[in-house]
């Protein structure tokens, strides 16, 4: 058995990118156009899409890391993984907190920092008494001295009745509650972006895994409509004076507004690229592990495994599992991958997995809901489980009438069809 000290199949270390030079140049060049424009009202939006585990995050992080090295003194870089958020409101709060942290590290004017503190503070409230809100933000009163239009403060006064113009006596006499809903909080965030841009700074906001705000929602029309409202509301950020960078799976992209037209789809990597990305990851492992994988039997097995995989995530996940069962070997690969399926999808009978996989003629085939239900022997409960455990993925999140086989199960296809 081989156990790794550093390998993580889901890791998105930007140093480990392989063969995405064309897409890297596109995203980098696009962002540099924004960063080279000093118009404080200028904004841009870009989307990198592709299948599950194809490498969207690692590509985007590589580009942003390179740009940070050049523009970190004049640019705020904010990243939010939407997979860790449950709603648009949570994403907005995370952006506000990230913005505050970045501005603090840049040593900006105290007036601007206080302005960012105000939004980060109120974003922690769902609702509160107006008097209490003023008590929390009074320490940031210097925001009122920010030069320029003070867009955020004007917005807060108009939409939430929050104002520094009141005397202490007037603040203590305030009555009533204020609700900080997602729509108006996002509007406040956009106004804060305007304040920051007028101080000569650029802003790059990177939202990763937008499709995982509520991935299971596609199975229910009601939840699907709710998450569409959340997603469309969040994407209103395209109108802000920022560079908005989005990562989402291809089946989710119908939610993109027409204004976000700069989109690139990542295609699957070739087998040689899979082997190269494995080589890069193995550089961090001890010498004895690399020696154990260097024998001809292992190399032959890895080449076959790379030929079956369509995504880096699938290849590395299979590789790690097989190594923990013993050194990869061509003769035992079928048995080992079968054990992987029974382990990774343990909640489902292996017969169900085989039946579902057999319904797909090739790795890129799409089958109808009726075909998938038939593969589940007409059992609605099993059909629901197959979706819940992502054995299959929808072709279109917003109209889930066709399905694709999860790349982690492509090895179950006949070898001449899986390649």
Name which residue leads in pLDDT, 262 or 172.
262
CA 417 to chain centre: 31
257-293 pLDDT, tens digit each: 999 999 999 999 999 999 999 999 999 999 999 998 9
Phi, psi of 245 (to 5 degrees): -115, 125
Separation of alpha carbons 266 and 22, rounded Å: 10
376-404 pLDDT, tens digit each: 999 999 999 999 999 999 999 999 999 99
DSSP line for 344-381:
HTTTS-HHHHHHHHHT-SSTT--EEHHHHHHHTTT-HH
Q: 188: which 2 tokens?
A: 């406040």
51-107 pLDDT, tens digit each: 999 999 999 999 999 999 999 999 999 999 999 898 999 999 999 999 999 999 998
Res. 418 pLDDT band, cuts 50 70 90 = very low
Provide the whole-model pTM: 0.93
Q: Which residue segments constitute the domains of the chain, with CATH numbers given?
A: 14-266 (3.40.50.300), 273-418 (no CATH)
DSSP line for 113-158:
HHHHHHHHHHTT-SEEEHHHHHHHHGGGGGGGG-SS--HHHHHHHH
Looking only at the bridges linking them, the beta strands covering 243-249 and 202-208 are: parallel
- Computed from CA positions of residues 17, 267, 57, 339, in that sequence, does the dihedral angle turn out positive or negative? negative
Q: 174: which 2 tokens?
A: 């305030």
Contact 79, 63 (CB under 8 A): no
Separation of alpha carbons 74 and 96, rounded Å: 18
The answer, yes or no, to whether residue 414 has pLDDT greater than 80, is: no
206-240 pLDDT, tens digit each: 999 999 998 888 989 999 999 999 999 999 999 99
pLDDT for the residue numbered 169: 86
346-383 pLDDT, tens digit each: 999 889 999 999 999 999 999 999 999 999 999 999 99
Separation of alpha carbons 48 and 249, rounded Å: 8
Centre a 10 Å sphere on the Cβ of residue 169 and count the other Cβ atoms it contains.
7
pLDDT for the residue numbered 416: 42
């Amino acid at each position: 058995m081989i156990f790794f000290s550093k390998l993580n199949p889901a890791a998105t270390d930007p140093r480990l990118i392989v063969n995405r030079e064309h897409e890297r140049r596109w995203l980098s060049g696009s962002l540099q156009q924004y960063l080279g424009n000093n118009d404080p009202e200028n904004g841009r939006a870009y989307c990198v899409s592709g299948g599950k585990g194809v490498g969207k995050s690692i590509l985007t992080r590589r580009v942003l890391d390179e740009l940070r090295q050049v523009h970190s003194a004049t640019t705020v870089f904010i990243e939010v993984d939407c997979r860790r958020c449950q709603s648009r409101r949570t994403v907005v709060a995370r952006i506000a907190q990230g913005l505050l942290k970045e501005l603090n590290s840049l040593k900006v004017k105290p007036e601007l920092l206080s302005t960012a503190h105000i939004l980060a503070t109120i974003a922690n409230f769902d609702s509160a008494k107006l008097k209490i809100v003023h008590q929390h933000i009074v320490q940031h009163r210097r925001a009122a001295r920010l030069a320029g239009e003070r867009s955020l403060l004007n917005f807060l006064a108009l939409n939430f009745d929050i104002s520094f113009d009141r005397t202490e006596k007037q603040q203590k006499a305030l009555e009533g509650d204020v609700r900080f809903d997602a729509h108006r909080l996002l509007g406040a965030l956009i106004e804060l972006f305007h304040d920051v841009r007028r101080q000569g700074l650029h802003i790059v906001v990177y939202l990763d895994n937008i499709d995982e705000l509520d991935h299971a929602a596609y199975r229910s029309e009601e939840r699907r409509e709710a998450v569409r409202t959340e997603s469309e509301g969040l994407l209103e950020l395209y109108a802000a004076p920022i560079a908005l960078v989005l990562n989402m799976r291809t089946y989710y992209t119908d939610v993109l507004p027409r204004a976000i037209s700069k989109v690139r789809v990542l295609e699957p990597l070739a087998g040689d690229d899979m082997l190269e990305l494995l080589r890069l990851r193995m550089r961090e492992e001890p010498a004895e592990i690399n020696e154990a994988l260097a024998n001809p039997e292992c190399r032959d097995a890895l080449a076959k495994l790379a030929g079956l995989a369509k995504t880096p995530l699938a290849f590395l996940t299979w590789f790690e599992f097989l190594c923990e069962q013993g050194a990869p070997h061509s003769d035992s690969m079928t048995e080992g991958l079968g054990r992987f399926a029974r382990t990774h999808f343990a909640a489902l009978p292996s017969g169900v997995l085989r039946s579902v996989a057999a319904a797909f003629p090739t790795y890129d085939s799409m089958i109808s809901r009726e075909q998938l239900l038939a593969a589940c022997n007409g059992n609605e409960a099993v059909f629901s489980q197959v979706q819940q455990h992502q054995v299959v993925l929808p072709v279109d999140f917003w109209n889930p009438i066709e399905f694709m086989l999860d790349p982690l199960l492509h090895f179950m296809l006949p070898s001449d069809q899986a390649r």
